[in-house]
Amino acid sequence: MEELLTKSEELRNVRVALLNVLEDTDDLRKEAVDERNKTMTIIENLNDGVILLNKNNQVEIINSPALEVLNIKREGVLGIPFANLLDKEELAEIKKAIIDEKDHKKIKDIYREEFSTSKDRHVEITSVLLRDELEEKGFLIVIHDVTKEKLVERMKTEFVSVAAHQLRTPLSAIKWTVRMILDGDVGSINEEQKELLEKTYISNERMIRLINDLLNVSRIEEGRLLYNQEEVQIEDVLEGVVNASQEILRNKNIKLKVEKKELPKVIIDKEKMGLVIQNLLENAVKYTHQGGKIKISLDNDEKNVIFKIEDSGVGIPKDQQDRIFTKFFRAENVTRMETDGTGLGLYTTKNIIQAHKGEIWFESEENKGTTFYFKIPISNK
């Protein structure tokens, strides 16, 4: 009898304990649901589009801004493979960048790329692989609308382009007027007047140069850089630039050696390629001390023509080398020297080379010298 009583007591205790556990579990479940709702509300109210994919790359979470950019309805979207959402023509560019061509299940890790989803909408997409120490958990895709920034950028480019065009005409007029006075075409001038006018002429030339640089930059940004592609011997372009540079070489007493061999013809925009070589040669002269040396060589391999220009100049500080092709960037060691420049030359140069499907790079050591290289494909098919 006593044994029975103890048993029933025990049972009662177990029941109470079970009820407590159930209550706790219920609380935990409620908490988890609350947390999930909170997270979903935050994701839903973000300005950016957010898509969370599971490890099979099926849509697990997608917020309204993402649905809007991809122009799809919410119904039936969950569980669908992400690649299927990008089947529309206007999303082809994004699909190509994110989804592996052969294996539709694979998503590529990309860090901020820009796309246009329609004529006047631009987005920046980031896709990040989510993983813990053990396994891959899926992908997080963030879509950021940059339409407004693009518009402002375009307006800025247009403004620079219009302003530069407007400035070019009066500057040319000044150039020719000063030249005529200097040449004595409108009567004689004394030494002092001549000296002043020569300074005016040089400053004016500098302004024309800056305006031309700005025009080239706006052409790059408007995507209309190359117009006259023709088959040429690149040696001829080099020769033209070298001939036109004799005076600046003489002024600094710099020896220029040119090594070339017979090269295959290349299809290039002759004028733009001249600008590339001129920029590189003028930099080599500008950033090399009096009496220094410059060597240019032209070579080719099976696929490319390779240009090399080596100087014995001031070099580029190691910690600034990664910024050298950035617009308006000038390294610290040259801003301390008495040289003028805009920091637009190499930006333009790199863009021209890339428009020819080529590559440009350099090696440099401070106070020893710099070598710039570029290569362009012999056939651009």
Q: Is 44 helix (H, G, I), strand (E, B) or coil?
A: helix
Binding residue (CB under 6 A) for ligand ADP from 62, 324, 352, 353: 324
Rounded least distance, CB 313 to ligand ADP, Å? 5
What's the residue count for the chain? 381
Pick the piece of the chain touching ligand ADP (CB under 6 A) from 26-34, 97-105, 281-289, 353-361.
281-289
d(CA 139, CA 128) in angstroms, rounded, equals 6
By CB under 6 A, tell whether 214 contacts ligand ADP: no
Binding residue (CB under 6 A) for ligand ADP from 157, 161, 321, 342: 342
d(CA 102, CA 98) in angstroms, rounded, equals 12
Rounded least distance, CB 349 to ligand ADP, Å? 7
d(CA 284, CA 295) in angstroms, rounded, equals 10
Number of chain residues interacting with ligand ADP (CB under 6 A): 22
By CB under 6 A, tell whether 281 contacts ligand ADP: no
Rounded least distance, CB 340 to ligand ADP, Å? 8
Pick the piece of the chain touching ligand ADP (CB under 6 A) from 41-49, 111-119, 187-195, 334-342.
334-342
d(CA 370, CA 312) in angstroms, rounded, equals 7
Pick the piece of the chain touching ligand ADP (CB under 6 A) from 56-64, 126-134, 197-205, 313-321.
313-321
In single-letter form, the type of residue at position 118 comes to S
By CB under 6 A, tell whether 343 contacts ligand ADP: yes
By CB under 6 A, tell whether 283 contacts ligand ADP: yes
By CB under 6 A, tell whether 370 contacts ligand ADP: yes
Rounded least distance, CB 381 to ligand ADP, Å? 31
DSSP sequence for 247-295: HHHHHTT-EEEEE------EEEEHHHHHHHHHHHHHHHHHTS-TT-EEE
- 191-221 and 345-355 are packed helices; what angle lies between their axes, rounded to 10 degrees? 40
Please give the backbone phi and psi of residue 133, each rounded to the nearest 5 degrees, phi first: -60, -30
By CB under 6 A, tell whether 66 contacts ligand ADP: no
d(CA 203, CA 194) in angstroms, rounded, equals 14
> How far is C-alpha 107 from the geometric centre of its chain's CA atoms?
23
Q: Which is nearer to ligand ADP, 99 or 280 (CB)?
A: 280
By CB under 6 A, tell whether 313 contacts ligand ADP: yes
By CB under 6 A, tell whether 287 contacts ligand ADP: yes
Q: Is 162 helix (H, G, I), strand (E, B) or coil?
A: helix
Binding site for ligand ADP (CB under 6 A): 279, 283-284, 287, 311, 313-316, 324, 329-331, 334, 341-347, 370
